[in-house]
Structure 1
Amino acid sequence: MSAPKNIARRSLLVTSAALLSLSVTALAARGVPRLSASPTATPPAHMSTVGGERLGRPGIQVNIAPGLPVLPRNLTARSWLVADAQSGKVLAAHNAHWRLPPASTLKMLFADTLLPRFPKDTRHKAEPSDLAGMGAGSSVVGMKQGHTYTVHDLWLGVFLRSGNDAVHTLAHINGGVQRTVKDIQAHADELQALDTHVVTPDGYDEPGQFSSAYDLTLFARSGLQKKDFRDYCSTVSATFDSREIRNTNRLLSGDTDVPAYQGIVGVKNGDTTNAGATFAGAAQRSGKVLLVAVMHPTKREHNEVYKEAAKLLDWGFQADGKVNPVGELVSPRSAIRSSTPSSKPSATAGSRSGSLSTAAAIAGGALAVFGLAVFLIRRRWPL
């Protein structure tokens, strides 16, 4: 690429980064209070407006125009969202900020929080206390007390089999379940996932635990920045305790009535009594990367959540680049803070010190914006 084009591209990126910072801050400021007492039976009339005013409205939000593909029929999910992972544009949504039980899709947030903390070859002997406190009927990978596992083994159990036993063991390695819940909640706050209230690290049904399709998409987008996260969530099968385990994400591993989805990257599925079936996925085709989140289809057919997610992804690949977005996926708070200069030059300093202070402030502001620009470049999805 020629030098003038490089300069123009950098200039455009810095300008876009600054504008994004201002717009995201304004959107977050307009959001509704962080928590409600419990998920509602029907979508509230007013929901969070993080990511855009239209995302706070109940019902389907999409900009219809001549020549655009029609949204799939017979979508029964209480809430769903489809977005361009690279630009962050929300292409269409339905009750995007409705706070609902997340089931095991919450494990995406758990993994995004803890994955960087422990080397994969760290070994841990399973103790009775590690496996205590799991909800009745929890999904498990089949850990055995007294057996020694690597952290790598445990993450395979989390991603492939949605093993609550592996989640609780990793939580104990992290200092305990309660500390881990606080860490996960803090990371949700950092991602501006303001619909999410964490009670358990594994997503098991508990009073007051909920998230939203919008927040699940933020979790998936953030997690996929990490190579280990991408590797685990895209693994179809692996060996655990000398036996094969297969990924329960049917768009990845396939099933009798659902073929593996073309270009699927991951990410995570879930299913509990209160949450119903939930799913957040990512797929890549022809240089485009899309994210989809689907929560609680009311149609009770086998694998319905995957069928509806596949329909939305198909629509998204046809509509991306043609449809005007209805909102955006916001950036983490740290990216916004890094774009705001922390100090101003002193008005009472002498001419020399004043010049130096001004230069330092300008340089600091440029570095801060550059930091956000680097963040945005990294979000161009090295999948």
Structure 2
Amino acid sequence: MRLPGLAVAVAAALLTSPLVPAAGAGAAAPVPCPRPAPPAPGPTPSATPSPDPVQRAVGGAGLATTGLVVPAPPKVAATSWLVADLDSGEVLGGCGPHEYATPASVQKLLLAATMLPRLDPADVVTITAGDLDIEPGSSAVGLVEGGRYRVETLWLGLLLRSGNEVANALARLGGGADGMAGGLRAMNEQARQLGAYQTHAATPSGLDGPGQFTSAYDLALIARACFADAHFREYAATREATIPAQPRQRAKGFTIDNDNQLLYHYPGALGGKTGYTDLARHTYVGAAERGGRRLVVTLLGADVIDQRGWQQGAALLDWGFALPEAASVGVLVSPGAATASPPPASVAPQARPGGASGAEATERGTFAAQLRSASLITLAAGLMVLAVALILRRRSRPPARHPDPPN
């Protein structure tokens, strides 16, 4: 059974999104994502949940498609992607935005959105042997067992070099008495709070695990929550950081640089996160600012054919910045919307800053008002029919028999 709150969130999103026909019966066949020639097949992804039509409509009916949401974007080698405005939440375009995919290290953004408010960046913490238990050959910063590091240093190691041992440590530290298990539980609770219903974390680092998945739309929700945090913005935009020496462990200090090439090659880049596993292929989240607008791009299941993941993200950002500010095919739902009570019938949906034009807002408001009026009329008619049926039933019912008196 679906949560009533989720239905409320979907209904609210539909009322406040452009009037785009929903995918389904009578709708045109999905337009495939424009892609260059595909490479040789890679590993087969593990089973993912069956598509849920309610979850796929989160953010607007126009997003409930396996194919292209808007015409004429650049060709990118990602199986799904989305571009949105970080500030207004307007979705500018996407392809298969609610399709399930494997996240790889962009999962670390959910870890950041969950643990940044829980951990003091000035605290000094100790790395354990359990933190260093990661897949051999996977990305690591080079922290040492027994080493003592500031939490701020851990965040830099996570976001600049995608350290999997750092992800384990942060999940453990933020998980309370339950350690890493508590951290994973908190991450999945955070995903639901953000409205990222198609996201489930099995590992804090994004290393492949059973039942781990996300979507391009969910990643945009998570990235928006991250970029709302001042500490995250600082860490994600850092190009170089120092990991301090650990004299007791005889470990020298060293310098790390940021793996996200968008910072070095794209004017106005704000940062983001790269990811890769054999199963997930290349995944990417990046954000940039231009002309007072801040856009975020998310892409999943990308192959490197003629562009790397960040370059595909850059091409989509260029395309998004070229669109008018009023362009919108949907919306990123607000955190907690799925658990919020529906607004009173007399309250019209609020306009989103930088969103639709006045004519579009009027059209949406008129549509919502008509829908509410029709609902009230239908409810009143239903109550009248029920009342008449009860009266007729009572008139036709035989007199009730009194129970036999006690012996």
TM-score range, shorter chain: 0.7 to 0.9
CA contact (8 A) 2:98 2:217 kept: yes
Q: Quick one: distance in 2 between partners of 1:173 and 1:214?
A: 28
CA contact (8 A) 1:21 1:336 kept: no
C-alpha deviation, 1:299, in angstroms: 3.9
Residue 24 of structure 1 corresponds to 13
Q: Quick one: distance in 1 between partners of 2:288 and 2:159?
A: 17
For 1:349-368, list aligned pairs within 5 A: none
Secondary structure of the corresponding residue to residue 131 of structure 1: coil
Q: Quick one: distance in 1 between partners of 2:196 and 2:282?
A: 20
Residue 82 of structure 1 corresponds to 83
- Is 1:247 equivalent to 2:255 in the alignment? no
Residue 321 of structure 2 corresponds to 317
CA contact (8 A) 1:296 1:305 kept: no
Report the residue type matching 1:143 in the other structure: L
Residue 52 of structure 1 corresponds to 60
Identity between Structure 1 and Structure 2 (%): 38
CA contact (8 A) 2:81 2:216 kept: yes
Distance 1:21 1:38, change over 3 A: closer
Secondary structure of the corresponding residue to residue 194 of structure 1: coil
CA contact (8 A) 2:77 2:305 kept: no
Out of 71, 74, 77, the position equivalent to 2:73 is 71
Residue-by-residue CA offset, 1:223-262 (whole Å, 9 max, x unaligned)? 111100111111111111321101111111x3xxxxx211
C-alpha deviation, 1:129, in angstroms: 2.5
- Is 1:292 equivalent to 2:281 in the alignment? no
Q: Quick one: distance in 2 between partners of 1:226 and 1:335?
A: 22
Residue 9 of structure 1 corresponds to none
CA contact (8 A) 1:205 1:273 kept: no
Out of 194, 197, 218, the position equivalent to 1:194 is 197
Distance 1:339 1:156, change over 3 A: farther
Q: Quick one: distance in 2 between partners of 1:192 and 1:20?
A: 8
Residue 142 of structure 2 corresponds to 142
For 1:193-342, list aligned pairs within 5 A: 193-241=196-244, 242-252=253-263, 254=264, 260-301=265-306, 304-321=308-325, 323=327, 325-333=328-336, 337=340
CA contact (8 A) 1:122 1:150 kept: yes
CA contact (8 A) 1:44 1:58 kept: no
Residue-by-residue CA offset, 1:28-84 (whole Å, 9 max, x unaligned)? xx99xxxxx8338xx96967111111211111111x5xxxxx422x32210011112
CA contact (8 A) 2:171 2:183 kept: yes
Distance 1:140 1:200, change over 3 A: same
Name the larger-Rg structure. 2
CA contact (8 A) 2:273 2:286 kept: yes
Residue-by-residue CA offset, 1:177-236 (whole Å, 9 max, x unaligned)? 111110000000000001101111111111210101111111110111110011111111
Secondary structure of the corresponding residue to residue 278 of structure 1: strand
Secondary structure of the corresponding residue to residue 290 of structure 1: strand
CA contact (8 A) 2:172 2:181 kept: no
Distance 1:173 1:156, change over 3 A: same
Q: Quick one: distance in 2 between partners of 1:172 and 1:322?
A: 43
C-alpha deviation, 1:167, in angstroms: 1.0
CA contact (8 A) 2:90 2:332 kept: yes
Q: Quick one: distance in 1 between partners of 2:214 and 2:136?
A: 21
Q: Quick one: distance in 2 between partners of 1:322 and 1:182?
A: 38
Q: Which runs of 5+ in 1 are unaligned?
A: 1-18, 32-36, 65-69, 255-259, 342-364, 378-383
Q: Quick one: distance in 2 between partners of 1:61 and 1:22?
A: 19
Residue 344 of structure 1 corresponds to none
Report the residue type matching 2:272 in the other structure: V
C-alpha deviation, 1:334, in angstroms: 5.6
C-alpha deviation, 1:130, in angstroms: 2.6
Report the residue type matching 2:323 in the other structure: A
Q: Quick one: distance in 1 between partners of 2:52 and 2:227?
A: 32
Report the residue type matching 1:55 in the other structure: L
Residue 352 of structure 1 corresponds to none
Q: Quick one: distance in 2 between partners of 1:45 and 1:218?
A: 18
Report the residue type matching 2:165 in the other structure: D
Distance 1:194 1:284, change over 3 A: same
Report the residue type matching 2:117 in the other structure: P
TM-score by length of 2: 0.69
CA contact (8 A) 1:84 1:90 kept: yes
Distance 1:321 1:25, change over 3 A: closer
Residue 373 of structure 2 corresponds to none
Residue-by-residue CA offset, 1:111-139 (whole Å, 9 max, x unaligned)? 1100111211211122213323x233321
Root-mean-square deviation (Å):
3.3
C-alpha deviation, 1:339, in angstroms: 7.6
CA contact (8 A) 2:283 2:301 kept: yes
Q: Quick one: distance in 1 between partners of 2:111 and 2:126?
A: 21
Q: Quick one: distance in 1 between partners of 2:337 and 2:151?
A: 28
Q: How many residues align?
A: 308
Q: Quick one: distance in 1 between partners of 2:73 and 2:147?
A: 50
C-alpha deviation, 1:333, in angstroms: 1.4
